[in-house]
Amino acid sequence: MKYSIFSLAANALTGHKGWKPAWRDASPREAYDVVIVGGGGHGLATAYYLAKEHGITNVAVLEKGWIGSGNVGRNTTIIRSNYLLPGNIPFYELSMKLWEGLEQDLNYNAMVSQRGVLNLFHSDAQRDAFARRGNAMRLHGVDAELLDRDAVRKMLPFLNFDDARFPIQGGLLQPRGGTVRHDAVAWGYARGASDRGVDIVQNCEVTGFRIENGRAVAVETTRGTIRARKIALAVAGNSSRVAAMAGLRLPIESHVLQAFVSEGLKPLLPGVVTFGAGHFYISQSDKGGLVFGGDIDGYNSYAQRGNLPTVEDVCEGGMALMPMIGRVRLLRSWGGIMDMSMDGSPIIDRTPVDGLYLNAGWCYGGFKATPASGWCFAHLIAHDVPHPAGAAFRLDRFATGHLIDEKGQGAQPNLH
């Protein structure tokens, strides 16, 4: 069914009894051309673009729980392309362009809202670093504006501009950044893929790989063995565990990142505000809740829940930036498991096992990358050649020295 004002009106007049499920909940068949492990945003986007852009429709997406139950439903829904390094900017800008056309492409309301992302700075040195970043973005055709203190005050008069440690001197604004309804991204891609013949298989956990003569030929699952000509992993958070079943060790640690949402408030924040110096960022959802977060807890974890010192740290950051937040009650907090890579950048590449492809290492930047990740991963799977926008995200870059370390922290994943 194509969604439109007419389908909405027709269903409204008939008591909304005519709506059909948006996608098929399939049972696995014995063999596919491509099996994608992981029914999150990246896996579903990969399946969608494989079918739509490359005509490969004999595809299954295997999900151990239900689709969208991992990080695509656990993030803070922000999209942006304000990167500095050459390997990153073209990729994230491709993602931003795909976001801009996503709803029309999918015929699905993902509530893409380009309300702007503002990164605050607090010193002359930080201003210069942000100016350089903004210039790099503009050289790559990305929008960026350097705002002074007065311009920020006009936009966000309620911020604490005279904090003793981090007085606000201005900010770098990307007006095209914003937020997206994250669950709708998973559902929209699932619907688009399913309509083109992709099997979406839930409650199907991969328990092993069958490897013959150095080539992956099948996955063992809780719902039986499934043969595949190509097997693609998009299981960020658990990449190390799944890859270990194929005998691989990855340059990744799993860490927990917490996020928070307040009770609903009247419209308050026009866009996304990041307070990097205070380890805090915030936006307001369309329901009115303040959605905010900070740093990862900082130790290896698969627990999908964090600890209180990080909650305290994030809330202190919030109080330092906008003291009025102290009167708001917290509604929920949750944790997601991040693939923290050794340089803070992702991996989209083939692996040493023939026929096994890897999409991993998204750190806490995976959501905004969803469309481009699917686009580039689908290209790699279809043609065995990396897409130009994702060609830098190689698995062997740690051995060759071609790291993409946006923060310059080195192989210490909890600092990226």
Partner 1 sequence: MRIRCPFCGERDVHEFTYLGDANGTRPDPSVADAAEQFHDYVYLRDNPAGPHREYWYHGAGCHGWLVVERDTRTHEIRSVAFAHEEAAQ
Q: Contact residues for partner 1 (CB under 8 A)?
A: 238, 240-241, 244, 249-254, 298-303, 307, 309, 312, 342, 398-399, 411-414
Would you say 5 or 308 has its CB closer to partner 1?
308
For the bound state, the minimum distance from the C-beta of residue 144 to partner 1, rounded and expressed in Å, comes to 32
Residue 220: closest CA among 201, 198, 203, 204:
204
Would you say 303 or 331 has its CB closer to partner 1?
303
Would you say 179 or 301 has its CB closer to partner 1?
301
Q: Which amino acid is at 345?
A: S
Would you say 184 or 242 has its CB closer to partner 1?
242
For the bound state, the minimum distance from the C-beta of residue 239 to partner 1, rounded and expressed in Å, comes to 8
Burial 40-63 (b: 16+ CB within 10 A, else e): bbbbbbbbbbbbbeeebbbbbbbb
For residue 35, give Cα distances in angstroms to 38, 197, 394, 410: 10, 13, 21, 34
Would you say 216 or 252 has its CB closer to partner 1?
252
For residue 135, give Cα distances in angstroms to 32, 85, 144, 146, 194: 46, 12, 8, 10, 41
* Euclidean distance between CA atoms 407 and 412, whole angstroms: 11
- Distance in angstroms between the alpha carbons of the first and the last residue of the chain: 43
For the bound state, the minimum distance from the C-beta of residue 243 to partner 1, rounded and expressed in Å, comes to 9
Q: Which amino acid is at 6?
A: F
Helix (H, G, I), strand (E, B) or coil at 96: helix
* Euclidean distance between CA atoms 395 and 406, whole angstroms: 17
Q: Would you state the structure tokens that stand for residue 273, as one six-digit string? A: 């505000």
For the bound state, the minimum distance from the C-beta of residue 244 to partner 1, rounded and expressed in Å, comes to 8
Would you say 122 or 397 has its CB closer to partner 1?
397
What is the H or E stretch that residue 121 is in? strand 117-121
Would you say 66 or 302 has its CB closer to partner 1?
302
Q: Which amino acid is at 304?
A: Q
Q: Vertex 105, ends 193 and 292: CA angle to 5°?
A: 90
For the bound state, the minimum distance from the C-beta of residue 367 to partner 1, rounded and expressed in Å, comes to 22
* Euclidean distance between CA atoms 399 and 393, whole angstroms: 13
Region of 104 (left: φ > 0; alpha: ψ -120 to 50; beta: rest) is alpha
For the bound state, the minimum distance from the C-beta of residue 303 to partner 1, rounded and expressed in Å, comes to 6
Would you say 98 or 257 has its CB closer to partner 1?
257
* Residue 388: half-sphere exposure toward Cβ, Cα within 13 Å: 3
Q: Would you state the structure tokens that stand for residue 276, as one six-digit string? A: 């990097």
Contact 361, 341 (CB under 8 A): yes
For the bound state, the minimum distance from the C-beta of residue 238 to partner 1, rounded and expressed in Å, comes to 8
Angle between helices 182-195 and 41-54 (to 10 degrees): 40
* Euclidean distance between CA atoms 106 and 116, whole angstroms: 23
For the bound state, the minimum distance from the C-beta of residue 235 to partner 1, rounded and expressed in Å, comes to 12
Would you say 46 or 240 has its CB closer to partner 1?
240
Would you say 40 or 361 has its CB closer to partner 1?
361
For the bound state, the minimum distance from the C-beta of residue 299 to partner 1, rounded and expressed in Å, comes to 5
For the bound state, the minimum distance from the C-beta of residue 222 to partner 1, rounded and expressed in Å, comes to 17
